[in-house]
Structures are given as structure tokens and as C-alpha cells.
Amino acid sequence: MTARGSVLVVGGDSVIGGALRRTLLARGWRVAMTSRRSSSDPGIRRLDLARPPDKWDALGEPDIAFLCAGITKLSACEADPAGSSLINVGHMSILAERLTAGGCRVLYPSTNLVLGGEAPFLPFDAPYRPVSEYGRQKALTEQRLLGLGERAVILRMTKIMPPRLPLFRQWVEALRAGRTVQPLSDLMMSPIALSDLVDTMITVAMQGGGGIYQVSGDRDISYAEAAMLLADRLGCPRRLVQPKTMAELGVAAAAMRYTTLDITRVAEEFSLGLFDVAATVNGIDLDEQ
């Protein structure tokens, strides 16, 4: 794709979509976005995936589209499987079909939750074993997009860590005040910084082929270990971090024993590596917490 090409960020006001749009604009790309909200800005097209497809506004003829919209809260998908599936699977698939039929290349952000996490660094062709309703919907959408050919690319990712993660903000505020925190010792993640994810999405969308790519942190850590890293960075005593299990706190979560993914394809095609999870946690801007 040349600098004359156009990019559409579907869901440009989401966490990932917003960061992606800002980065693309800073690099000189022509970028339009969609939002569920009406706007007088000519660069913002209204698209509410909850509405019937025949009511959608025209989206132009982008060269590349990043499909960052949808219902992403796991609890919302569990609470309304039919309604969330209509948006996340049915309408997202129709949108991808329309865009690719017009010659557009689409990148669909997916998740490690489509796999079971029974082993570390699962390959892209591991059997689907979704561990939540959200993971099930992502798996179904993946399968539909794989039928669209080389214009459709799927990027599976592990836990994404934006600069202002609310849970971490709560921990930082508590630790600075000398209060204890109770992070989960049996909920694992392999975090990737939002900025690293955005860079990878752009690289894969603009230089890669079709099918499935995966990105991952370099190891699994528990939320308790992440809280310990923050305590160390803040210079707070580790005794303030008092880990608990999900059973002890009565927490229900889409837990997997392993959350890491095999990244062979991005390593071979783009010389990208695993992301350092400790550096990701320690890279949070504490002044923003």
C-alpha cells in the first residue's frame, strides 16, 4: 500500500481503535473512522453494528480496514449471548464480507481466548477451545473471515495493557497510600503494551498476507506478580501485596492455565519477537495512574 491509500478504523473511538487511528495519522496516512455516534466530522462515519446492515451508512472505498468495533466486555457477552453474538459474529462478518468484496483488506483483532490454554505458546492451528462466550464469538467470526481469502487477516493477541488500566490505577493509588491490595494469584496473563500492539497491527495489515497471525508476551505471569512488580517500582513494601485466589475472593473469570501464543509467523515474516511482560508492566506511566 502506498501513502496515497486510505485506511478505515472501524470503532475508532475504542481503546485499540483510538490508539491505532492516532498512530496512523501521526505517520501521515489518510484515515477515516467509524463511530456509533453521529458526527459532523467528514472523517467520522456512523456505523452502529447493532442496527440492521441495510441501515448502515456508506463507508467509502478504503484500501485497508481495521475491525476494532464490537462488544468486548466478557460480562456483557455472558449476560446477553444472542444480542452480543448478533453484533460480534453476524454483523461483523457481514461487514468484513462487504469490505473485502470491494477490494479492501481487513484486519480483525482476535484473542487467545479462542484457544483453551492447555499448553504454553499454542500455535495458530491449535483446536478451537474457547473458554468464554466472548471467546466463542471470536472463534466463530475467525472461521467466517478465514473463508474470505487473502484479503482477510486475523491477529490474535494476549492481554493488552493500555497506559491507564483502571485496575492498575487502583493498585498504584492504594500502594502509594500504604494500603494493601489483593491481586489474584491464579489468574494468568501475558501482557502486551497497547503501543506495541498498534505497531504490530499496522505492520501485519500493510505488509502481511491473509490468515492468522499471533502476538504474545514472552511468558505467563499472574496478576499477583504484576502487582509485585508495581510495588517494587513504586518502592513500596511487598507485604502490601496480599495475593488471593479466585475462590477466596469469589471471582468468576475466563481463566486459562497458559495464555501465551506461538508467534512463529510474525517472527519469520517481520522479524518480530515476543514482548517482555516485565517491561510492559514496568512501562506503565505511573503519573497517569
Taking only the tens place, the pLDDT of each residue in 161-216 is 998 888 999 999 999 999 999 999 999 999 999 999 999 999 999 999 999 999 99
- Identify the pLDDT of residue 145: 98
- Identify the pLDDT of residue 162: 92
Out of 3.40.50.720, 3.50.20.10, 3.30.70.260, 3.90.1560.10, the CATH code matching 6-159+191-217+262-268 is 3.40.50.720
- Identify the pLDDT of residue 284: 87
- Identify the pLDDT of residue 286: 82
Domain ranges of the chain: 6-159+191-217+262-268
Full-model pTM: 0.94
The DSSP result for the chain, as a single string, is --TT-EEEEETTTSHHHHHHHHHHHHTT-EEEEEESS--S-TTEEE--TTS-GGGPPP----SEEEE--S---HHHHHH-HHHHHIIIIIIHHHHHHHHHHTT-EEEEEEEGGGS--SSSSB-TTSPP--SSHHHHHHHHHHHHHHTTGGGEEEEEE--EE-TT-HHHHHHHHHHHTT--B--BSS-EE--EEHHHHHHHHHHHHHH--SEEEE--BSS-EEHHHHHHHHHHHHT--GGGB--B-HHHHT------S---B--HHHHHHH----B-HHHHHHTS-GGG-
Which residues does the chain have with pLDDT short of 70?
1-4, 288-289
